[in-house]
Amino acid sequence: MAADKIFLIGMMGAGKTYWAQKMAKWNKCVGYDLDALIEMNEEKTIAEIFNEDGEDHFRKVEAKILRWFKEKKKFIIATGGGTPCFQENMQWMKKEGIVIWLDEPVEVLVKRVSPEKNQRPLIATLSDSQIATFIENKLVERHSFYVQAHYRLTSDQINEAGLKKIITKHVS
């Protein structure tokens, strides 16, 4: 297991992008956001890719761009909520580095994603209660992938101390 490559996984709204940036600073490496790289590569927003090209296309691009990180030596990347569940991405990430699941509860996820649901094609047309049901169902569906992570951090562990502990354990 390579020590210097860290992949953050978890549902939308789990704080992957936020924590990837923080961790990159502590670790003196670059913090990436997979969704942002996909948008740059496709010159479209995630919503446009889903609407115009479909989810299958999105998942193919997502897997392709994830694999660019084979060549990189030290980084933290925030992946998309669905990344571990397609194209054998979870197996690939686990082979390459450390995978951390940010496992926030449904109430927190809903509160965070509702205000910006227009940028999130999977929930854009849903009401708050429908978003909660959607997230609950997705968590059930995705559990068998997420649970394979090397680390699963729950709310009380998703903080500076909890994440720095993992960095110091693994990163040279």
| Angle, vertex CA 89, rays to CA 117 and CA 77, nearest 5 | 60
Taking the complex as a whole, the smallest distance from the CB of residue 26 to ligand S3P amounts, in Å, to 21
Out of 21, 72, 114, 121, point to the residue binding ligand S3P (CB under 6 A).
Answer: 121
- For residue 162 the two structure tokens come to 């909890």
> CB-wise, 48 or 160, nearer to ligand S3P?
48
- For residue 32 the two structure tokens come to 């990436």
Amino acid symbol at 160: E
- Interacting span for ligand S3P (CB under 6 A) from 22-30, 90-98, 119-127, 151-159: 119-127
Out of 20, 23, 46, 110, point to the residue binding ligand S3P (CB under 6 A).
Answer: 46
**Eight-state DSSP code of residue 102:** E
- For residue 107 the two structure tokens come to 């109430």
- For residue 170 the two structure tokens come to 């693994």
> CB-wise, 120 or 170, nearer to ligand S3P?
120
| 110-136: b (≥16 Cβ within 10 Å) or e | bebbbeebeebbbbeebeeeebbebbe
Out of 80, 110, 145, 158, point to the residue binding ligand S3P (CB under 6 A).
Answer: 80
- Interacting span for ligand S3P (CB under 6 A) from 76-84, 102-110, 125-133, 164-172: 76-84
Applying CB under 6 A, does 35 fall inside the site for ligand S3P?
yes
Applying CB under 6 A, does 12 fall inside the site for ligand S3P?
yes
